[in-house]
Amino acid sequence: MPPADVASDNRAKYWIGACANDGLSCTHYGAFADLPEAQALAKEIKMQSPLIEQYGIHLLITPTPYGDLIIGDSHEYSLDAQPFNSEEVDNLLIELAEHTLGCSVQVKERWQGVYGAKGKEPISILTPSEKSLQY
């Protein structure tokens, strides 16, 4: 299950109007990831910034009606949800957001979403792990 790490901020000095994302999203989402250009970008990212590839980091910035920004996200896939976020991953997301926005951000709160996901195959057959069956 991938937790999506997100954070919110209310110090943006201007309104971005709509959701903004960076080129990293092209390597994450299937609609783009199969394109040769996205594959070339993914290869470069893997060499230069292995954490970005390892944690499925891609920048999404979404304004709220209250003037805050929701900043995310990353994906860590495992059979069970981990209760803790990686500070290194969270800091990398903040750095990407500050670089993209051209201003510093102050995190007000953090949360992670946990949800089920299927593999790359058209059909997924899931079996419980031994660990999940032990109480």
Q: What domain count does the chain have?
A: 1
Q: Please tell me the predicted confidence (pLDDT) of residue 78.
A: 77
Output Rg (C-alpha) for the chain, integer angstroms. Answer: 16
Any idea what the CATH number is for the domain that residue 99 is in?
3.30.9
Q: What does the pLDDT read at residue 94? A: 93
Task: Look at residue 95 in the predicted model and tell me its pLDDT.
Answer: 93
Range of the domain at 15: 3-133
pLDDT number for residue 15: 59
Q: What is the pTM of this model?
A: 0.69
Q: What is the DSSP string of the chain?
A: --EEEEEEE---SS---S-EE-TTHHHHSHHHHTSHHHHHHHHHHHHH-HHHHHTT---EEEE-TTS-EEEEEEE---SS--S---HHHHHHHHHHHHHHHTS---EEEEEEEE-----SSSS------HHHH--
- List the pLDDT tens digit at each of the 135 positions of the chain: 333 444 554 444 555 677 887 878 888 777 888 889 888 988 998 899 888 888 888 888 988 888 888 998 888 877 777 788 889 999 999 999 998 888 888 999 888 887 777 666 667 676 777 666 665
Question: What is the pLDDT, as a whole number, of residue 4?
Answer: 40
